[in-house]
Each structure stands twice: as C-alpha cells, then as structure tokens.
Amino acid sequence: MGTIENGLQAVKSRVARAAASAGRSDREIVLVAVSKGQSARAVRTAYMAGQRDFGENYAQEAASKMAELADLAITWHFIGPIQSNKTRTIAERFQWVQSIDRLKAAERLASHRSGAGRAPLQVCVQVNVSGEQSKSGCRAEEVPGLARAVAQLPGLRLRGLMAVPEATSDEALLRARFGAVRAQLEALRRDGLDVDTLSLGMSADLDLAIESGSTMIRVGTAIFGERSKA
C-alpha cells in the first residue's frame, strides 16, 4: 500500500480503538478526510482505498477538484469560513456545510439551495468554544438562537454543531471544551431540535474527541501527510 492508503488505515484503526475504549462502536463515527491543499489525485487515491467523505476549506479549490473527480460518489463537506460571494458555489456543490456561524450566511446558502427536487444541504453551526478572536464560529451564548433560526430555513437541514478548539496539550482543558459543545448539542435536543451530529476532533485530538462523544471527525495530516508549504 502507498502512503495515503497506510495513513487512512492507521486512522481507521485509531478510531476503532478510541471508540472501543469509550464503549462505543466505530460505526457511530464518520471520518471526513480533510483534503484542503491536496491534489485531486490524492483524493482519488483515498477514495479508492475506501474513503467517501472529504472536507474542503476553499470553495474555488474544491470546485476544481470536484470537476476532476466527477466520476466518484464523494460526499463533500465545506469546513472553512463562509464568504458571502462564495455561498452560491458552496450551496450548489457541497452536500454538507459544517461552518455556519452567522444567520446571514445561512440565509444566503438557503436561497441558493432551495428549489424543486433538490436535497437539503446538511449543515452544522460552528461554535468558537475557545473564544479566540482569530477563529471562526459563533459565541456559545449565540448557539441556541442561531440554531433555531437555521433549522427554520428552507433548503437546509440542521444536523448539529462543529467546533475547532484552540490547540493545547492540556487534556483537561480540551476535554472541558469538547464537553461544553456536547452539552450545547444536548440542550438543543431538549429544546426540541432534531440534531444528531457532533463534529469534533482532528489528527491530534481525535481520540479525546471520540471519548467526548464526537460523531464526526475531520482528519487531514494523519491521512495525507503534511501539506506543502509552497
């Protein structure tokens, strides 16, 4: 097997071990391979090794890959900041958007996605759980109102919450931040929203994310290796 195939298998084995340790099944956890900065050829290699869900941060980069990989049954996730002038491309080309952090962006996605016969766009609200000024995501106190508003929009189906906590070696702090997002998801359920997705965990912290209840992890480096700095 090649490097990507080995990386993918290693991640899947790691997910299985983490799930078993948490008393869960790995079938509960969706692996999204983050292909930002990777070539269409690399994506095809991962697909041929069994990977089906891929995450992209930039609409135009993704559109180019989608055109080259149109023969493959890929589920594409948009996981980057949503620019207003890219909402049409995102709404028309992706199946998932995990990074909704303001109502205006959600409304624009809905307006472009709505239409006869079109499947709803699966969406998550992104939470800035660490409070970093430089990071996307709504504030924790904004989650209930934003989630309720998004759930009412035509063309969208609210699935849950996503977060990218600040990188830290403090496991207790990271566990607390993951737990805070999980608590918010549970609060939305108590409020009557039909949400089932907790998108937490990347290459460095997926084990702890799975322990904390994540149902979707986003992994790039551990599958594809480091991206080129060029």
Name which of 69, 66, 42 is nearest 220 in CA terms. 42
What pLDDT, in 10s, does the model give residues 7-27?
A: 999 999 999 999 999 999 999
Confidence check: pLDDT of 167 > 90: no
> Per-residue pLDDT averaged across 196-221, rounded?
97
* Token code pair at residue 48: 């041929």
Question: Buried b / exposed e across 143-175, counting CB within 10 Å, b at 16+?
Answer: beebbeebbebebbebbbbbbbbeeeeeeeebe
Yes or no: say if 96 and 34 are a contact pair by the CB < 8 Å rule: no
Residue ranges of domains in the chain: 3-224
pTM of the model: 0.95
User: How many Cβ atoms are within 10 Å of 15's Cβ, its own excluded?
Assistant: 22
CATH class label, 3-224: alpha beta
As a whole number of angstroms, the distance between CA 137 and CA 155 comes to: 21
